[in-house]
Structure 1
Amino acid sequence: MTVKSAIVINPSKVLDMDERRRELFGAVADAGWPEPLWLETTPEDPGCGMARAAAAEGVEVVLVCGGDGTVMAVAGELAGTDVAVALIPSGTGNLLATNLGIPRDVAESVAVAITGKRRRIDVGEVDGCGIFTVMAGMGFDAAMVGDTPDSAKARFGWAAYVATGLRNLTRRRASVRIRLDGGKWLHRRASTVLVANVGRLQGGLPLLPDAEPDDGCLDVAVLTPRHVGDWLRLAGGVLLRRGNDTHGLETFRAQSVEVQAARDEPRELDGDVIAPARQLTARVRPGALVVCVPAD
């Protein structure tokens, strides 16, 4: 079957652009597809304009060669369309790819785009900030992301977050209130609140093991540890998959989530820091994005 495709690639995530281009073009040619569009992101445009250009050309599959931030930018433009997104993991976290079982090997991930199946997944949408495919966060996680240098991420991968995470363990908890699907406000003192579309974090950590990207809901994790000992107990509970029995962790599920804090808090979408604020309001867009996933 002949399929019109495009490649949106983030040059900052690839060591040898010429080699990557030969590899991708060769795999597409071997499948009998026409030569794809080649669209490079820029510091000013992380992929939004490239995705729009691909859609305007009638492309059926967009291969995204970058990290979760590049995927988020492309997905923000293609959500609500029938254009499929194929993930070619090249970033630090690659959490959407990890949660969907997409291999990190370039040839294997391209094979998923060509021979795999199409799956409609949900995306989350944050008021005034755009969409996310993995998760939105407010508090500790966003502070950790913001404090981790790009150079460290490039050198050490997801492990680069460990050092900055340790430095932020003693960060003062915030007074927050949370409302799910317009219900009653829940009051907590939390280190972080995560609104997630998928459940696994860096290193495959199963924070929300029951989360599914196509269940029409967002999963919410409220982390409330007070000190380092609490963080260690929380980590142990997560690894043992104790769910809401985990000390310092509460989980919820909803289609819309409102989080309000008593002070400005750092925030992030899919690992990209956004402006600090006292509020994070998210809702699910069920089945909005078509992705290529392994056939099995």
Structure 2
Amino acid sequence: MLLPGPVPQGGHVTRSAVIVNPSKVVDLDERRREICAALAAANWPEPLWLETTPDDPGCGMAVQAVAEGVDVVLACGGDGTVMAVASVLAGTGIALALIPSGTGNLLATNFGITRDVRAALDVAISGARRRIDVGVVEGADTVTGHPGTFTVMAGMGFDAAMVGETPDDRKRRFGWVAYVVSGLRNLHRRRMPLRIRLDGGRWMHRRASSVLVANVGRLQGGIPLLPDAAPDDGWLDVAVLTPRDITDWAQLAWGVVLRWGRTPRLETFRARRVEVLTSRAEPRELDGDVVAPARRLMAEIVPGALLLCVPAERG
């Protein structure tokens, strides 16, 4: 079980690490010069520079950073890099800063951190630090043995199939819009017969296209699927999508975008532990990264486990 660590006192940083995914950066040398120059200007020591590999999206690098005694880790990559680093930093009290460089950048988007590198570095250097919750999914361990951790949301069904079928080159070229093509292709996907249980209560039976278990509420493109979700309230917000055809999908989409009082074909719940069981193995994803298909998705919230660098409030 992940446990929250103490919030560091004071703003002095004795050591930092940059964990970068080279495949998400056009000019790696220039990015390194830019980051190191900004940290030096803030009187931060030279950072530990660690690059991810195809076999390790960032977990092993984060373990090394923790062992080196850093105060802050700057994750420069996409959602997969952030998820990997967060899975290690959760519970350590070491702050995570985001330098968005991927396609979705869902955690950064939910906190108003843009792809502007200079602005993101300003948040890391002089922004506030906020404790946020993380979700842990059983049976979704990473390659280094750390639990399947998500900061934004876990999904099963349509959303995971859509993410898994979107080629990396298309994501690099078109950004989050690249998901639209694979999304349209999966609109006729069979719904999942499933059972869902919240906090050990009674089992509810549904036929759903997708189940999303969220820590925050915005999807790619800033779509407010769960506008009441908060990253530090100690709850998981659950969305069960049950459209049967194209018409249902259209009504659901308009309901979400226009924020109707009751969106057709969308049920929402709130819980600290969520269990989903299906009749067949289904695609699953954590923060936009596909994990092994399975017949179950079991997620639990860990309140205040991750210390995140966020924009300072303007007053």
2:155 corresponding residue in structure 1: 137
Aligned partners of 1:259, 1:128: CA distance in 2, in Å?
Answer: 13
- Using the TM superposition, give the Cα deviation of residue 100 of structure 1 relative to its aligned residue in structure 2, in angstroms: 1.2
1:256 to 262, 273, 281: 273
Q: Contact 1:2 / 1:32 at 8 angstroms: preserved in 2?
A: no
1:119 corresponding residue in structure 2: 130
1:201 corresponding residue in structure 2: 219
User: Are 2:46 and 1:68 equivalent residues in the alignment?
Assistant: no
Q: Contact 1:2 / 1:34 at 8 angstroms: preserved in 2?
A: no
Aligned partners of 2:34, 2:173: CA distance in 1, in Å?
Answer: 23
Aligned partners of 2:54, 2:275: CA distance in 1, in Å?
Answer: 31
Alignment of 1:13-162 (within 5 A): 13-129=24-140, 130-162=148-180
CA RMSD of aligned residues (A): 0.8
1:167 corresponding residue in structure 2: 185
Q: How much identity, in percent, do the aligned residues show?
A: 73
- Using the TM superposition, give the Cα deviation of residue 109 of structure 1 relative to its aligned residue in structure 2, in angstroms: 0.3
1:6 to 3, 6, 17: 17
1:223 corresponding residue in structure 2: 241
- Using the TM superposition, give the Cα deviation of residue 57 of structure 1 relative to its aligned residue in structure 2, in angstroms: 1.0
Name the amino acid aligned to 2:236.
Answer: L
Name the amino acid aligned to 2:27.
Answer: D
1:246 to 263, 272, 276: 263
- Using the TM superposition, give the Cα deviation of residue 23 of structure 1 relative to its aligned residue in structure 2, in angstroms: 0.5
1:285 to 282, 302, 305: 302
Aligned partners of 2:192, 2:312: CA distance in 1, in Å?
Answer: 44
1:181 corresponding residue in structure 2: 199
- Using the TM superposition, give the Cα deviation of residue 159 of structure 1 relative to its aligned residue in structure 2, in angstroms: 0.4
- Using the TM superposition, give the Cα deviation of residue 102 of structure 1 relative to its aligned residue in structure 2, in angstroms: 1.1
Aligned partners of 1:43, 1:116: CA distance in 2, in Å?
Answer: 31
User: Are 2:278 and 1:267 equivalent residues in the alignment?
Assistant: no
- Using the TM superposition, give the Cα deviation of residue 2 of structure 1 relative to its aligned residue in structure 2, in angstroms: 4.1
Aligned partners of 2:12, 2:273: CA distance in 1, in Å?
Answer: 40
2:7 corresponding residue in structure 1: none
Name the amino acid aligned to 1:54.
Answer: A
Aligned partners of 1:105, 1:241: CA distance in 2, in Å?
Answer: 29
- Using the TM superposition, give the Cα deviation of residue 264 of structure 1 relative to its aligned residue in structure 2, in angstroms: 1.1
Aligned partners of 1:149, 1:239: CA distance in 2, in Å?
Answer: 26
Secondary structure at the aligned position of 1:221 is classed as strand
- Using the TM superposition, give the Cα deviation of residue 128 of structure 1 relative to its aligned residue in structure 2, in angstroms: 1.9
Name the amino acid aligned to 2:126.
Answer: T
Name the amino acid aligned to 2:271.
Answer: A
1:236 corresponding residue in structure 2: 254
Aligned partners of 1:227, 1:11: CA distance in 2, in Å?
Answer: 41
1:294 corresponding residue in structure 2: 311
Secondary structure at the aligned position of 2:80 is classed as helix
Report how many aligned residue pairs link the two structures.
295
Secondary structure at the aligned position of 2:255 is classed as helix
Secondary structure at the aligned position of 2:81 is classed as helix
- Using the TM superposition, give the Cα deviation of residue 160 of structure 1 relative to its aligned residue in structure 2, in angstroms: 0.3
Segments of structure 1 that go 5 or more residues without pairing to the other structure are none
Q: Contact 1:65 / 1:88 at 8 angstroms: preserved in 2?
A: yes
List 4+ stretches of structure 1 deviating above 6 A.
none
Aligned partners of 2:260, 2:298: CA distance in 1, in Å?
Answer: 27
- Using the TM superposition, give the Cα deviation of residue 211 of structure 1 relative to its aligned residue in structure 2, in angstroms: 0.4
Name the amino acid aligned to 2:237.
Answer: D
Aligned partners of 1:248, 1:112: CA distance in 2, in Å?
Answer: 39
Segments of structure 2 that go 5 or more residues without pairing to the other structure are 1-10, 141-147
